[in-house]
Amino acid sequence: MISKDSTIKEFDEPTFVKIRGVNFKNGTIQVKVLSRLLKDAPDFARGFIGIAFRINNSNTKYESIYIRPVNARVNDQVRRNHTIQYYSYPD
C-alpha cells in the first residue's frame, strides 16, 4: 500500500511513487489503473491517476501522463479534452 507523504501540504504539489532499482530508459509502460472518486472531490479534480517517468536522480524533473477516466463521459467538452494529458515538470 502507498500513502501520501505527510510533508506534502499544498493542494497541487508534484507527488509520485518512484520504483527503485529499475534501469528503464525507453519503451512501453503497461499498467492497470483504478481511479475512485472521493466524495468531497471538487469538480475540477474528478478522479485521475498519473504515470511519471524519466524522473531525474534529485526528483526535480520528470515527465508524466494523466488519465482522467471520468472526464471521458461528461457533457463538458473542455473536460473531455483533458481525459488524457501529458506534461513535464517543472517545464
Q: How many structural domains does the chain have?
A: 1
Is there a domain that residue 70 lies in? yes
Q: Is residue 62 part of a domain?
A: yes
Does residue 37 fall inside a structural domain? no
Residue 26 lies in a domain: no
Cα gap 72→46, rounded to integer Å: 11
| pLDDT at 86 (0 to 100) | 92
Range of the domain at 85: 49-89
In a domain, 14, yes or no: no
Nearest residue to 42 via CA among 75, 79, 77, 72: 79
**What pLDDT is attached to residue 45?**
67
Distance, CA of 68 to CA of 44 (rounded, Å): 11
Closest CA to 36 of 27, 25, 24, 45: 45
Each residue's pLDDT expressed in tens, for the chain with a length of 91 residues: 666 667 777 766 667 777 777 777 788 888 877 667 777 777 666 677 888 888 888 888 889 898 887 788 888 898 888 889 898 988 8
Residue 11 lies in a domain: no
Q: pTM score, two decimals?
A: 0.66
Q: What are phi and psi of 81, to 5 degrees?
A: -65, -20
